[in-house]
């Protein structure tokens, strides 16, 4: 007589005792701690920042040399390598590093764990870590960068590899990598609240990329709002950054009217960037509800934010800004905790 363990029914009986269970969900806090060592990701863009990813400017900055100056756009530029620097002089790397070090110290002084990502020797834009990924509850979506470079340059394509390596080193889950012909960069991703997110549609973010982000968000019960950016605007963070649960700093020249109306419907109060410092004002980093790090030159918008109850921590970003991005561009939050 055959025994049960030798019969086709054996595994059915085993599964009755130890069935697979889809719940709790992947992003459940206790399950994340059990499988991934800690809770990863963010539920929104304003909760207390615990871990952030930076890249300290390094030797790759020296690719940008003074002989590449083009007076027609008043900047150093390389069409093949696809970088620019808004000056007639090559970057002052020591000054950029000093500004970046002060930024990192300000983060640490506010209880934030700072981790650093490598960059390739031909990736002078590697300091803009925000663009390489989009972080949501439970993990990371790796971007697919728009600029490719030719014939031998990389543009920004290839920075994705360094983020992926860092995520693996940290043990952070990668929920998706934008693939196919999809384009989407983290600077164009904004969590408006825990049920609504927005992406900027531009030369750096297309329908395929947005659709792939949306597939991840649907698993989290988050609605994705596609925002067509005007003209040659690249990223949504030039138009809006959340500074509190119900408050955002915005540059209305970068946002369509219907999206401004939608923000009002979501109960989000708008603090308008002042035209006198709009280039420095919107690109802020929120480190906890109602507390932001901001380029010290944005004095007029800082006054408006403080009148609305937002605390502003200023930092010098003068030389780094010439490279085309602010403190928001230069930081990728990996973990935010609830207050």
20-55 pLDDT, tens per residue? 899 999 999 999 999 999 999 999 999 999 999 999
Task: Tell me how long the chain is.
Answer: 339
Supply the pLDDT for residue 154.
Answer: 67
Q: What 3-state DSSP class applies to 272?
A: strand
Please state, in angstroms and rounded to a whole number, the distance separating the CA atoms of residues 259 and 264. Answer: 9
Residue 282 lies in a domain: yes
Domain count for the chain, please give it.
1
H helix intervals, the chain: 10-17, 29-36, 93-109, 159-170, 207-219, 257-265, 278-281, 299-307, 318-321
Domain that residue 135 falls in:
26-337
Backbone angles phi, psi at 187, to 5 degrees: -65, -15
Residue 122 lies in a domain: yes
Residue 10 lies in a domain: no
Supply the pLDDT for residue 280.
Answer: 79
Residue 72 lies in a domain: yes
In Å, how far are 182, 188, 255, 309 from 233, measured between CA atoms? 18, 10, 10, 30
Residue 57's CATH number = 3.75.10.10
Mean pLDDT of 97-117: 98
Residue range 301-325, pLDDT digits in tens: 999 999 999 999 999 999 999 999 9
Mean pLDDT of 171-190: 98
Q: Which two tokens stand for residue 111?
A: 């209880």
Going by pLDDT thresholds of 50, 70 and 90, the confidence category of residue 153 is low
**Mean pLDDT in the chain?**
95
Supply the pLDDT for residue 6.
Answer: 79
Residue 9 lies in a domain: no
What are the strands of the beta sheet with 332-337, ordered from one edge?
Answer: 113-116, 48-54, 332-337
């Amino acid at each position: 007589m055959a025994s049960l363990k030798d019969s086709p029914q054996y595994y059915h009986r085993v599964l009755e005792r130890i069935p697979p269970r889809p719940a709790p969900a992947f992003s459940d806090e206790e399950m994340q701690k059990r499988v991934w060592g800690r809770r990863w990701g963010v539920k929104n863009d304003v909760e207390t920042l615990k871990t952030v990813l930076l890249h300290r400017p390094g030797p790759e900055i020296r690719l940008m040399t003074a002989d590449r100056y083009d007076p027609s756009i008043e900047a150093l530029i390389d069409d093949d390598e696809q970088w620019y620097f808004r000056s007639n002089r090559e970057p002052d790397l020591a000054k950029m590093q000093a500004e970046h070090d002060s930024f990192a110290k300000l983060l640490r002084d506010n209880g934030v764990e700072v981790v650093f990502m490598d960059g390739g020797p031909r990736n002078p834009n590697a300091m803009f870590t925000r663009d390489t990924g989009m972080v949501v509850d439970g993990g990371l979506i790796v971007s697919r960068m728009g600029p490719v470079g030719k014939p031998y340059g990389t543009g920004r394509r290839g920075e994705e590899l360094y983020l992926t390596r860092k995520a693996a080193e940290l043990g952070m889950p990668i929920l998706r990598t934008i693939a196919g012909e999809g384009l989407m960069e983290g600077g164009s991703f904004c969590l408006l609240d825990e049920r609504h997110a927005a992406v900027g549609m531009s030369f750096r973010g297309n329908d395929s990329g947005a659709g792939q982000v949306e597939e991840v968000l649907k698993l989290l019960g988050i609605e994705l709002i596609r925002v067509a950016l005007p003209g040659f605007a690249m990223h949504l963070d030039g138009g809006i950054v959340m500074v509190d649960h119900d408050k955002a700093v915005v540059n209305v020249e970068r946002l369509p009217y219907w999206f401004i109306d939608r923000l009002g419907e979501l109960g989000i109060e708008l603090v308008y960037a002042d035209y006198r410092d709009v280039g420095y004002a919107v690109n802020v980093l929120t480190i906890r509800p109602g507390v932001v790090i901001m380029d010290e030159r944005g004095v007029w918008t800082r006054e408006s934010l403080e009148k609305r109850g937002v605390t502003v921590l200023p930092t010098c970003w003068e030389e780094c800004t010439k490279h085309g991005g602010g403190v928001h561009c230069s930081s990728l939050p990996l973990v935010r905790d609830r207050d």
